[in-house]
């Protein structure tokens, strides 16, 4: 269940400026919510770095369990379990949701492993190229036609990926894996027609038996481990809110902002990750990799400019 839009208020005759004022207020709140969501996503590596001793699989398993519990509480409060029951009663939608759950779990695991293995820089590259991968997927899977600027932006991105591979000495599998898994997740997620909180609850519910089984197996086999440390256990529990809160903020924002605005704000998260990787985690950025990032930023600038121009272009007036 997605966050509801503000209920329209009755407007008295004297309140001529009311709708514009309310619209500006909604836009401001939406921008703040979007910024908060992407800032939280940007700093997420700090949380995963703090519990990296648990291992990426355990972190993801705990993230699934605690996200499920928090989302279950939210849906119970808001009465959103009807949509979940309807989903599980529809075989096609349930299978699609199972597919998105697997893609989401793979995306989470790859991202946490990138933090654990000191490859946040490549992860940030993946989320920079994600919007362009979505456009390329639209061309290949949906037969969408792109204009000249969009085609140029995608071409620059392909060159940037090739240069990133040269700088790494191998294909940037983490970046491509993150971009493709999240791209396909969004592609299939649309067909399930569920709100963010309801959809994520259904996905984590499908992953929870495996996740909980993994946690229990490790505790029984190897002892409590990280679960015996109150500080580490508290950080593990925080992976639930750290997953859910940005999602709900994003859902709030996307209903109140233009897609072009959301498109610009989304680069906040990988930008923060980029800076964390270099200045806090001490990852090395050689000249070749810096060139690849510069080309990606150029391609995103071209892509964003095209979206801005098309948004400002007046609609064609139909012939009389």
Please report which confidence band the pLDDT of residue 313 belongs to, taking 50, 70 and 90 as the band edges: low
Give the pLDDT confidence score for residue 45 in this predicted structure: 97
In the predicted structure, residue 22 carries a pLDDT above the cut 70: no
In the predicted structure, residue 12 carries a pLDDT above the cut 50: no
Residue 19 counted as domain residue? no
Residue 277 counted as domain residue? yes
Residue 3 counted as domain residue? no
Please report which confidence band the pLDDT of residue 50 belongs to, taking 50, 70 and 90 as the band edges: very high
The Cα–Cα gap between 33 and 25 comes to 12
How many whole angstroms from its chain centre is CA 191? 17
Residue 5 counted as domain residue? no
Burial class (CB in 10 A: 0-12, 13-18, 19+), 13: exposed
Residue 240's closest CA among 69, 76, 115? Answer: 69
Please report which confidence band the pLDDT of residue 9 belongs to, taking 50, 70 and 90 as the band edges: very low
Residue 14 counted as domain residue? no
In which domain, by residue range, is 109 found?
28-309
Kindly report the number of other CB atoms within 10 A of residue 111's CB atom: 25
In the predicted structure, residue 180 carries a pLDDT above the cut 80: yes
Residue 241's closest CA among 70, 104, 76? Answer: 70
* Region of poorest pLDDT, from 67-76, 110-119, 144-153, 257-266: 257-266
Give the pLDDT confidence score for residue 304 in this predicted structure: 80
Kindly report the number of other CB atoms within 10 A of residue 9's CB atom: 10
Kindly report the number of other CB atoms within 10 A of residue 310's CB atom: 12
What total of structural domains would you count in the chain?
1
**Residue 132 structure tokens:** 């362009």
Give the pLDDT confidence score for residue 108 in this predicted structure: 96
Residue 318 counted as domain residue? no
**Residue 216 structure tokens:** 């229990």
Residue 11 counted as domain residue? no
User: What is the CA angle 242-248-254, rounded to 5?
Assistant: 130
Q: What is the average pLDDT value for the chain, to the nearest integer?
A: 85
Mean predicted confidence (pLDDT) in 11-25? 44
| Residues 197 and 73: beta-carbon distance below 8 Å | no
Residue 87 counted as domain residue? yes
């Amino acid at each position: 269940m997605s966050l509801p839009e503000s209920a329209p208020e009755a407007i008295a005759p004297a309140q001529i400026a009311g709708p514009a004022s309310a619209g500006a207020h909604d836009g401001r709140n939406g921008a703040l919510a979007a910024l908060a969501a992407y800032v939280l996503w940007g700093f997420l590596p700090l949380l995963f770095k703090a519990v990296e001793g648990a291992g990426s699989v355990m972190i993801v398993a705990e993230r699934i369990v605690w996200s499920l519990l928090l989302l279950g509480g939210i849906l119970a409060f808001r009465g959103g379990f009807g949509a979940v029951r309807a989903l599980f009663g529809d075989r096609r939608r349930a299978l699609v949701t199972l597919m998105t759950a697997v893609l989401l779990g793979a995306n989470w695991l790859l991202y946490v492993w990138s933090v654990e293995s000191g490859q946040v820089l490549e992860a940030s590259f993946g989320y920079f190229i994600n919007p362009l991968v979505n456009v390329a997927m639209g061309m290949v899977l949906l037969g969408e036609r792109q204009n000249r600027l969009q085609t140029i932006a995608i071409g620059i991105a392909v060159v940037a990926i090739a240069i990133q591979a040269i700088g790494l000495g191998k294909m940037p599998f983490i970046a491509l894996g993150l971009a493709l898994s999240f791209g396909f997740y969004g592609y299939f997620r649309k067909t399930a027609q569920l709100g963010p909180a309801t959809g994520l609850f259904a996905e984590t519910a499908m992953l929870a038996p495996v996740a909980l089984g993994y946690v229990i197996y490790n505790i029984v086999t190897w002892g409590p481990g990280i679960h015996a440390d109150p500080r580490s256990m508290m950080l593990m529990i925080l992976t639930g809110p750290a997953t859910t809160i940005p999602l709900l903020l994003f859902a709030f924002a996307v209903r109140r902002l233009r897609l072009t605005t959301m498109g610009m704000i989304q680069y906040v998260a990988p930008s923060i990750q980029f800076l964390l990787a270099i200045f806090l985690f001490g990852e090395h950025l050689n000249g070749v990799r810096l060139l690849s990032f510069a080309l990606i930023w150029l391609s995103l600038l071209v892509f964003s400019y095209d979206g801005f121009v098309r948004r400002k272009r007046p609609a064609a007036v139909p012939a009389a």
